[in-house]
Amino acid sequence: MMQTIFDQYGWENAIAIPLSQGLINHTYELQTAQGDFILQNINTQVFKDPYTIDHNIKAIGQYFHNNKKDQLFTHLVPNLRGETLIEWEGKHYRAFKKIEGIALDVLTNASQANEAAYQFGKFTASLNEFPIGALKVTIPQFHDLALRYHQFEQALMHGDAKRMETAKEAILFLKSHQSYVKRWLDFTTNKEAHLRVTHHDTKISNVLFKDEEAICVIDLDTTMPGYFISDVGDMCRTYLCPVNEACQDLDQIKILPERWTAIQNGYLKAMGEFLTPFEKDHFAFSGQSIIYMQALRFLTDYLQLDPYYKVDRPSQNLDRTLNQNQLLIEFNQLV
């Protein structure tokens, strides 16, 4: 199977090395006589229409080619027929020219947070004049807080009764912060909040580093029209605490203030001139809304008997919820 795909690109003497990074797609590093490439099998259970992703990456790549040739970017590699998305035996594949760099699994210091925040900000800033209407939505309502709260309410009506009793305190906590939903609606309907080219998945592993310098963002599957709060909020959720949502010891969930400063400095260095005063006033709300949204999603899944997030034990999604609730408490004390 693989050899046939190699032939479609005209690659000779190809050696495929599976990469473990990335939770969604199957990824391989390819060493060929024509150079080094990245080949991915797209998970169509998550991305129902891979052609929308292909369209977006090509559109952005073409924009950079025409306007910003020096911009480091994961350009798609066409096969011998000029196709950038290949269907083979019921699966979808694509290839990128390999960019030399390292993707970090774990963020270990504030400098890395600053570097990553700058690169995500630079990515959006560099596309400030890109026609946003040219992008397609890859996951509808992905960061729609009103939708996530509605799904939570549905889970309260139709979810598992035993689990609702077990999660009583977590439910009350999330209900008590419902005002975030109104604030999110007020933000997204304000004319001073602009739709921009937004990455939507700004975890540290989606930035390539060379030595201690971040050089470009990668994994653009969720790149689509969105609000800056999605990117900043996701950085807050994943950069600020030294432990992630898997940690069950709530005493370990602390915010490192220097990382909050690093996110602000890095992102605003790139995007400060483009954000409106109204958007800047909602910088901290970015963290509140995305942390809260993730807590809602974990608890909704728990009440519905875990259909979405993979679990190894029955209480895992509740534990993840408690983790995010504590993170929200800590963040609110900081801001």
Q: Residue 292's domain is classified under what CATH number? A: 3.90.1200.10
Query: Does one domain contain both 231 and 270?
Result: yes
Any idea which residue has 């090395």 for tokens?
17
Contacts of 33 (CB under 8 A, 6+ apart): 11, 12, 13
* Amino acid code (one letter) for 65: H
Query: Does one domain contain both 85 and 131?
Result: no
Token code pair at residue 103: 């993707």
Query: Does one domain contain both 121 and 46?
Result: no
Residue 67 placed within a domain = yes
Query: Does one domain contain both 80 and 144?
Result: no
Query: Does one domain contain both 220 and 131?
Result: yes
Q: Which of 46, 76, 99 is the last residue of a domain?
A: 99
Residue 105 placed within a domain = no
Query: Does one domain contain both 57 and 146?
Result: no
Query: Does one domain contain both 78 and 164?
Result: no
Quote the pLDDT of residue 1: 47
Residue 104 placed within a domain = no
At 101 the three-state DSSP class reads coil
Residue 305 placed within a domain = yes
Do the Cβ atoms of 79 and 92 come closer than 8 Å?
no
Nearest partner of 103 among 15, 199, 216, judged by Cα: 216
Query: Does one domain contain both 206 and 260?
Result: yes
Query: Does one domain contain both 182 and 323?
Result: yes
What is the pTM for the complete model shown? 0.93
Query: Does one domain contain both 189 and 325?
Result: yes
At 145 the three-state DSSP class reads helix
| β 35-42/91-97 pair status | antiparallel
Q: Residue 7's domain is classified under what CATH number? A: 3.30.200.20
Contacts of 282 (CB under 8 A, 6+ apart): 187, 193, 229
Residue 237 placed within a domain = yes
Q: How far is CA 303 from the centre of its chain?
A: 24
Domain span at residue 306 reads 110-334
Query: Does one domain contain both 135 and 40?
Result: no
pLDDT tens for each residue of the chain, 335 residues long: 455 788 889 998 888 888 765 545 678 899 999 999 999 888 777 677 899 999 999 999 999 999 999 999 999 999 999 999 998 878 899 999 999 999 998 999 999 999 999 999 999 999 999 999 999 999 999 999 999 999 999 999 999 999 999 999 999 999 999 999 999 999 999 999 999 999 999 999 999 999 899 999 999 999 999 999 999 999 999 999 999 999 999 999 999 999 999 999 999 999 999 999 999 999 999 999 999 999 999 999 999 999 988 889 999 999 999 999 999 999 999 99
Quote the pLDDT of residue 91: 87
What are the CB-based long-range contacts (under 8 Å, 24+) for 172-177? 173/325, 174/292, 174/295, 174/296, 174/299, 174/321, 174/325, 177/292, 177/328
Quote the pLDDT of residue 19: 78
What is the number of domains present in the chain?
2
**Dihedral pair phi/psi, residue 42, rounded to 5°:** -80, 135
Indicate if the alpha-carbon torsion angle 130, 131, 134, 140 is positive or negative.
Answer: positive
Q: Which of 64, 99, 134 is the last residue of a domain?
A: 99
Q: Which of 99, 125, 148 is the last residue of a domain?
A: 99
Query: Does one domain contain both 139 and 73?
Result: no
Residue 42 placed within a domain = yes
